[in-house]
A and B are shown apart, each in its own frame.
Chain A
Amino acid sequence: MAVMKKSPLYIIALLLLVFTGYPFLYMISTSLKTQGDFFEKPFSLFSSFNFSNYTSVFEMGISHYFFNSLIISVAAVVIVMFIAALASYPLSRMKFKFNRPLFLLFISGMMLPIHATLIPIFKLTQSMGIYDTLWALLGPYIAFSLPISIFILTQFMQEIPKSLEEAAEMDGCTPFGIFWRVILPMLTPALMTVFIYNMIHLWNEFIFALVLLSSPENRTIPLGLQDFYGEFSVNVPGLMAALTLFSLPILVVYFFTQEKVVKGLAGGSVKG
């Protein structure tokens, strides 16, 4: 009886599972084909199990790209989380004259097409003398992650009841103390969302890396993956193997962050 009642739920869940999961399976399946297999049967699922693509990814000396990507994206994301949360606090919970305009200014960065910023940022990076170093990416990565981070964080901060803050103020907490001890812990679900969003975004970021880096030793993963491209060809299975490998860290990050988003943690004290 109970199973019967729930069966529509299972059907929806499974349909969504196929819809969302199929391309990922297809990616893994393709990564297990040799070039020859792929050209023979491009559409088949798990028709061959050849791990040579994975070994050759490691032989490409890709660990260097991996290390660069890891440093730059983790550094940028962590800084973003911190300074975006700081800025979101007054923007969402304090009244002052330029609150709304400032908020709009901050989120307007989401609206600017990245490609339009390339030439100004290229020039800026040149003049700062950090062209072709990892530092060149830090600024753009932080700055372009800020808008959406602030947007999400302010929205969640607005939902936190005033009473908690007032109580802390009575106890003589400084504004920073309130932020650090009261607000931040309650923001965990939102911070985790910001973390995973930016992490994925920066992990796959290509265009700034393309324009601001040049030397092979400074390249990040998305640039390194260009090695799979020929004159008029792509080594599709090889690329898929690399992409599968490089999505694993993100998958781990996702598990880690989602562990923190559970009912009760925020639910107990925050009422929408």
Chain B
Amino acid sequence: MNAQTERIEIIQKTEKVKSRKTARTKHIMTICLFIAPALLVYLLYVVYPIFATLNYSFYNWDGTTEKTFVGLGNYVELFKDAIFWTALKNNVWVVLTSVFVQIPLGLIMALMLFAPIKGLRLFNSIYFLPFLMSTVAIGMLWVLMFDPINGVINLFINFLGFENIAWLSDENTAMIAVLLVVVWQFSPFYMILFKAALVGISEELYEAAQIDGANTWQKFKNITIPLLLPTIISSSILAIVGSLKAFDIFYIMTGGGPNGATELMGTYMFKQAFNNFNMGYASAIAFLMFFLALIVTIIIQVLESVRKRKGGYE
């Protein structure tokens, strides 16, 4: 080794490091400037309540100024609480329905919007209507539609040759009924997500496949699905996260009943907080909901990045 070349190398390196350093500070500054506005609002209104919730969850608190510290007491109690487990199980049903019914239906609806049929504009707007309606209206209308005596759903199943079903008051069917409404309400959202992704797929790819003699199914399987995969995955995350904190439509249609058949973590938390005034306990439920969703999201994200690396993405 020549000492001189070594020295030159060292000088070059330090210079590189220096210029890299200024470039890096500049880079970091840029990043900060881009992120700062969102982060500021976010820290104040979201991150602070998250920590406040975590803090409340360690107390026995009925809403007064006085709180008693109970450590993990609320969590210990929660794990022994049968209603919480029922609620968690019901939430899992919502998750499964959202991922395996809602998203595929959303995809089908989106694909229909690119189908070679007439009246696409009409379909496009009608399909979207459920998502646009307010949850209050949805709840009221569907309760009427599920009416045990003359509701349209029962008229429909009578037509198919079945007996009337007391949808919302039967513990065995209440969940199914509300899940149907959930699917109905949110599929259009996934439709527009998929639609936005589908317009990004180049026609040329399909044309090339056409030349290679691929049929519609092959094109769908080999072009559409792989290219939609990122959207499918993020839709799944949205669906799971949304399902874990589902509340509104259940609260309006069944209030978690009958006899806890449609109780969710969200409705249970609401009851504990605003009916029973167990703010500490409710905070523990809320934080657990948050934590569960976070864990699931992290797992999906990790799996996704592994997949990307394997697939030689980027």
Determine whether A and B are in direct contact in the complex, meaning some CB atoms lie less than 8 angstroms apart.
yes
Name A's B-contacting residues (CB within 8 A).
6, 9-10, 12-13, 16-17, 19-24, 26-27, 30, 42-43, 83-84, 86-87, 89-91, 94, 96, 100, 102, 104-117, 119-121, 124, 139-140, 142-144, 146-148, 150-152, 155-156, 158-159, 175, 179, 189-190, 192-193, 196-197, 200, 204, 206, 222, 225, 234, 236, 239-240, 243, 246-247, 250-251, 254-255, 258, 261-268, 270-272
CB distance from B92 to the nearest CB of A (A): 16
* Interface flags, B21-40, vs A, CB<8A=1, else 0: 00000011011001101110
Chain B interface helix/strand/loop/mixed:
helix
Q: Is the CB of A151 within 8 A of B45?
A: no
Q: Is the CB of A6 within 8 A of B247?
A: no
Contacts of A42 in B (CB 8 A): 144, 147, 150
8 interchain residue pairs of minimum CB distance = A116-B286, A143-B45, A111-B293, A189-B196, A117-B49, A87-B38, A120-B52, A272-B227
Q: Is the CB of B188 within 8 A of A270?
A: no
Other than A87-B35, A111-B297, A258-B124, give 4 A-B pairs with Cβ distance below 8 A.
A23-B133, A110-B241, A140-B45, A158-B230
Select A111's contact among B52, B142, B241, beta carbons within 8 Å: B241
Most chain A CB within a 10 A radius of its CB, from B49, B197, B286: B49
CB distance from A89 to the nearest CB of B (A): 5
| Subset of 8 A-B contacts with CB under 8 Å | A26-B144, A100-B301, A112-B245, A116-B273, A120-B48, A144-B46, A254-B128, A267-B201
Tell me the bound Cα distance from A224 to B101 in angstroms.
35
Most chain B CB within a 10 A radius of its CB, from A102, A119, A142, A197: A119
Select B131's contact among A121, A200, A234, beta carbons within 8 Å: A200
Q: Is the CB of A23 within 8 A of B230?
A: no
CB distance from B21 to the nearest CB of A (A): 15
